[in-house]
Structures are given as structure tokens and as C-alpha cells.
């Protein structure tokens, strides 16, 4: 499979991005929100096969010390083919040499990110306003 990686958001891809979010059961993402998410990201990687979006990730970085990777997603029809691994690898290279790159894994996917060099934090903390997410991700 020939996969091309794009490093900027194209508004023409928004419906395909939403399709991937929804296919992965992230149902709360609508067109306006996805446009905002990708327009405000400092780094975007979109994987395409034959012109169709099959995966993506976005990140926010200060460009000096820190970054956070968000929403690593692969279309369910293309999962388990190494695409997510490649997207994260590309994102890490794109972000460059920073002191720290954060990422919150979805439950059950921690080992995937450990394969890419991510480690659990001793002092990581978060505030979740959504009770369901708070219960799932905090101790």
C-alpha cells in the first residue's frame, strides 16, 4: 500500500477526518470542532492512500521545550497495518528535538506507545471536567 504523509490541514479533508473519528467511536467531533482542532494545531500529519485520508495525528508545541500529541487515529479498515506506528514516528520526527513530548493514550493502548519510546509519568497530572473521562484516566 502506497501511503503519503501530508504535514498541513486541508479543509477539504474534514469529512474524512470526522469519518475516522466516528469510526473509532469518538462521536463528539463535528465539522466546526474538527476544523478548529486542526487549524490551531502547530503540527499535523495526515496519512493518505490513493488520495483518501486513512489516519492522522495532531500536536501542539512551544517549539522549544515541550509538545503534546493528540488524536492519533487510523481508519478502522486500515488498522493493524503499522500505519498508526508510522504516523507517531513521523510526528516525533516532525516535532524535532524537544525536552518532552507528552501523550495521553486511550485505555488499552499504552503498550502501543511504549513501543515508540513513551514511558509512564511519575508526576503527570490532569484536570478533566468530564466525569466519565476523569474516572477513566485519573487515579
Please identify every residue annotated as catalytic: 113
The label of the residue with cell 510526528 reads 91
HSE of 35, CA atoms in CB hemisphere, 13 A: 6
CA distance 104 to 120: 10
CB atoms within 10 A of CB 26: 13
66, 98 contact by CB (below 8 A): yes
CA distance 75 to 56: 9
The label of the residue with cell 470526522 reads 18
Amino acid at each position: 500500500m502506497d501511503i503519503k504523509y501530508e504535514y498541513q490541514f486541508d479543509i477539504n479533508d474534514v469529512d474524512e477526518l470526522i469519518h475516522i473519528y466516528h469510526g473509532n467511536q469518538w462521536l463528539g467531533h463535528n465539522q466546526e470542532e474538527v476544523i478548529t482542532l486542526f487549524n490551531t494545531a502547530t503540527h499535523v500529519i495526515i496519512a493518505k492512500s490513493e488520495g483518501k485520508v486513512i489516519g492522522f495525528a495532531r500536536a501542539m508545541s512551544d517549539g522549544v521545550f515541550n509538545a503534546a500529541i493528540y488524536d492519533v487515529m487510523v481508519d478502522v479498515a486500515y488498522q493493524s497495518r503499522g500505519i498508526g506506528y508510522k504516523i507517531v514516528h513521523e510526528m516525533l520526527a516532525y516535532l524535532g528535538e524537544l525536552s518532552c513530548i507528552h501523550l495521553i493514550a486511550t485505555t488499552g493502548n499504552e503498550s502501543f506507545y511504549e513501543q515508540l519510546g513513551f514511558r509512564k509519568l511519575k508526576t503527570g497530572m490532569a484536570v478533566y471536567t468530564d466525569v466519565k473521562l476523569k474516572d477513566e484516566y485519573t487515579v
